[in-house]
Structures are given as C-alpha cells and as structure tokens.
Homo-oligomer: A and B are copies of this chain.
C-alpha cells in the first residue's frame, strides 16, 4: 500500500536519501518531451523563473476537473441506483437502494466540495508564480547593467557612461534586493498556505466521507440477504423507519463536524501526538496569524529601500 514510501532505504544517511525524494534524476526537463500545443507554447513564453510553477498550476486544473467529474458521476450513480431499486418491486431493495443512494449522493457532493477547495489552494499558488514572474525582469536588469559595465571597462575604461551605469547598477541592486526578499517571503508564506489548505481539505473530505460511509454500512445491514428457497416469499420489510433515522443521523453528524487543528504544542513532540492529539478549532488558529506577518513584511521592505539607497 505504501509503495512510494516502501522502497525507501529506512537507514539511509544524509548523503544517501535518494529514496526520500521524488525528483527525477538528471536534468528534470529531459522527461518533458512530447507534442506541442498552444498551451505548451504559452508555457514557454513564461519567464524561466515561473515556468515550473506555471505548469504545476495548470496540472492542478486537471486534478480539480477529475475530482469534479468523480463527484458528478457519483451523484448520477446514486440516482440510477435508487431508480433501479424501485423497478425491482422489492420493498426492501427499493428502500435501501434509495437511501444508500442518498448517502452516495452526499459522498459525491463532498468530492465536489473538495474540488472547490483545491481550486482555492491553486489560486494561492498563483501569488507565488506571479511574484516569480515579476522578479525575473529585476534579475535580468541587474545582470544587463553589470554586463554593460564589464564591457565598457574593457573597451572604453574612461567613458563617462560608466559613472551613470554604476549609479544605475546600485539602483538596480536595491530594487532587486527588495524583489528577492518579496520572492522568498511570498514563496514561503503562500507555499505553506496553499498546502495547509490542501491538507485541511483532504482531511475534511476524508472525515465527512467516513461519516457517510459508516452510516451507509448501517443501511446495508438493514437489508436481509438470507437466501430464500423457490416459491417462498420474503418477510415483509419493516426497517423503513430505521433507515430514515440513519439518514437523519448522518445529517446530524455532518452538521456537527468541525475541523480539528493540530495543537501547536504537539509540533515538537513525537508524531503520535500529532496524529491523535488534536484539539477542537477555536477560531484562533495559526493561519490568521500568517496573514498579519505578510503585511508586516511589506512595511519592513519599504523602510529598507531607504536604507539600501542611503548606503549607496
């Protein structure tokens, strides 16, 4: 079951952790071969810095569609199951298939909501890509001026343009320092935010679908499947009240569901604590705190431009 983790050497040292990585060996672009398309051309027009994230964000779109499709098909199957059950003219099969259909339909609905949560997380990653995209010209500009200075120093060491270029370089370096700080800040904050949201959505879908599946199992138990002999008729079905109660229970459980949030204390403890030792979300989680941090950074950057320029 844990294929990817299973082939990892458990006792690998620092220098031999190949198995704990999923990076392709060699140039990671080598395996990218394949056909052209307008979208792949559009990907090529991205600055080098944001190319990989551009592609990743595109792939997330396919992932999201797949979960949307799964949700839609699940709801359709639920209806078909119910309608099939009706035409069996067997009261028990009819009732149970209809109510199992309600449960399956809700499982499909959860799949669809998961797709929407992934879409939100995808939007967060776009912030990183956009910052990468905007940082590239700053790097290019700095490099271009450096090159010009190096060229002039060899060809026309007394050129008056050298002084101007040196001033331009200081300005470009200052601008780039800010850009690179913005890049690392946005990258780390948004990377965490995006995947924290994905993991939270994965847990939410999982916990809700567990609730539904367990109630679905209860419904199936109401269907008497002891075989009858030819000519004998089955006992009358008498569980429609219980079946309805199970749906009500499922509804209650879903309504009462709340996200669990990892106890911050548990972070430094053994992993057992992290998996099992959760506290109920009280609305004062660490995610809100991150946002404040990002705004603080913007202020600091502004102040620092002055410092860098002053030193020049």
* Total copies of the chain: 2
Q: Which of chain B's residues have a CB closer than 8 A to the CB of A69?
A: 62, 66, 69
What DSSP secondary structure best describes chain A's contact surface? helix
Expressed in whole angstroms, the Cα–Cα distance for A230 and B185 within the complex equals 10
Contact B206 A213 (CB under 8 A): yes
In the bound assembly, the distance between CA atoms of A17 and B227 in angstroms comes to 29
Assess whether A189 is interfacial by the CB under 8 Å rule. Answer: yes
A90→B217 contact, CB < 8 A: no
Q: B60 near A77 (CB under 8 angstroms)?
A: yes
Residues of chain B within 8 A (CB-CB) of A97 are: 191
State the Cβ distance, A180 to closest chain B Cβ, in Å: 7
- Are B251 and A184 touching (Cβ within 8 A)? no
- Of the candidate stretches A2-10, A139-147, A164-172, the one touching chain B is A2-10
Query: Which of B5, B102, B181, B226 is in CB contact (< 8 Å) with A231?
Result: B181
CB pair B230–A181 under 8 Å, yes or no, is yes
Contacts of A308 in B (CB 8 A): 230-231
Which residues 41-93 in A have Cβ within 8 Å of B in the complex?
A: 52-53, 55-56, 59-60, 62-63, 66-67, 69-70, 73-74, 76-84, 86-88, 90, 92-93
- In the A-B complex, list the 6 residue pairs whose CB atoms are closest, starting with the nearest: A227-B297, A206-B206, A5-B251, A66-B70, A249-B271, A188-B225
